Structure 1
Amino acid sequence: MEFKIQHTWNDFPVSHEPVVIRFTPENAGIQMEVSAPFFNDPPAPPSEPGKPFNGLWDYEVVEAFFLNDQTEQYLEVELCPHGQYLVLLLSGRRKVCKQELPLVFEVSRTGAKWNGRVLLPWSYFTPGTNKFNAFAIHGSGVDRIYEALYPVPQQEIQKGQKPDFHRLEYFKSFSLKSLMGEDWKQPVSELWASCKQIN
């Protein structure tokens, strides 16, 4: 399963080779691979690679969101070309219930490209995951660029509107069974069963 981020958040074509996200089924979860241009802007976050970093969305990052649109519970995964990552579980729009969950994140950079690979365990996926969106961010200050797999259509942009990756109504259908097989059943997640809002 492969997705290419070819538009900005407000539905204009990106001006570079698109970010590519691939998903591969594994017994323990889904392997997520990112292949993306490396802008090195902004510079690396002030934390060591291989660790979660809160506030990663302020840096160069690729993000994947997996949503149950009935409960508005969703998994947010952020990966940075410098090796940091962030995993959030949200119960309701922007309502974090668990944060900085651990991952094993492998990243490599060659010239103007970077590649990342991570296994997303089943326990991180909300029960009944059925929608998805993905995003990429780079640049600093007025040159900050926000990109979306499923952008807000240009005709729906309001005057003064800013990019907002939590516009869940623009997420599109996503089937774990199409990846895992029709007979597959999503494992029960103790993490979600104990999810309490922390903001």
Structure 2
Amino acid sequence: MKMEFTIKHTWDGLPVSHEPVTIVLKSDNAGLLMEVTAPFINDPPAPLGEPGKPFSRLWDYEVVEAFFLSDRTEHYLEVELCPHGQHLVLLLSGKRRVWEVSGQVHSNEELPLEFEVTRMKTKWEGKAHLPWSYFPPSTNKFNAFAIHGSGEDRKYEALYPVPQHELQEGQKPDFHRLEFFKDLNLKELMGEDWKQPESDIWKFLPN
């Protein structure tokens, strides 16, 4: 079983001007396998961090991002993957509020991720294993994004963009508009009898 998503629009609803980014979610024995296929723009240049390791402020580079939300609590998981091999996992409690878990399991910006990249001249593919412990309880909403380019050519793309009628003059891209995320029923992937495993990380966070 798998779920496939294609990022066909910019954050404000315009068609993308290249082969769109595809994200596939598959059941993995201890979580989800997230597979990315994306054009390799190679702009901006690679982050200076070591491939395979977390990198702070990865969103300033070329990335594909997936957000997994529980709309009941506004707790969400943000996964950022870079074609150069770096990654960033953030746990958020409320819009843009990165939850500091440093006293518990790991510092939030150092959460490990099993992530492998295959990079070709004009395309890259990534596979990331997302453990269930990273997902907030009752995950039921999803959105995905892609960012690349530098300066005025910086492009922000969204699976579920801000609807045209919601746009306001001068509005900037904002990937944390949780109200525009759409339903994600993980039972379609895992089976009707499946229950989301309890997280040993999120249980430290008061509701």
Q: Distance in 2 between matches of 1:34 and 1:91?
A: 26
Deviations 1:11-33 (A, max 9, x none): 00000000000011012000000
Match of 1:115 in 2: 125
The one-letter amino acid of 1:147's match is: E
Match of 1:191 in 2: 201
Q: Distance in 2 between matches of 1:25 and 1:10?
A: 31
Match of 2:141 in 1: 131
Matched residue of 2:50: which SS? coil
1:165 partnered with 2:175: yes
Q: Distance in 2 between matches of 1:62 and 1:31?
A: 15
1:5 partnered with 2:12: no
The one-letter amino acid of 1:166's match is: H
The one-letter amino acid of 1:62's match is: V
How many residue pairs were aligned? 196
Any gaps of 5 or more consecutive residues in structure 1?
none
Match of 1:63 in 2: 65
Deviations 1:107-152 (A, max 9, x none): 0111100000011000001000010000000000011000000000
1:156 partnered with 2:166: yes
| TM-score, scaled relative to structure 1 | 0.97
**Worse-matched range after superposition: 79-88 or 92-101:** 92-101
Moved segments of 4+, more than 2 Å: none
Any gaps of 5 or more consecutive residues in structure 2?
102-107
Q: Distance in 1 between matches of 2:35 and 2:23?
A: 6
Matched residue of 1:96: which SS? coil
Match of 1:142 in 2: 152
Q: Distance in 2 between matches of 1:195 and 1:78?
A: 22
Matched residue of 2:133: which SS? helix
Q: Distance in 2 between matches of 1:109 and 1:181?
A: 33
Match of 1:81 in 2: 83
Matched residue of 1:178: which SS? helix
Quote the offset at 1:195 in angstroms.
3.3
Quote the offset at 1:173 in angstroms.
0.3
Q: Distance in 2 between matches of 1:38 and 1:27?
A: 30
Q: CA RMSD in A?
A: 0.9
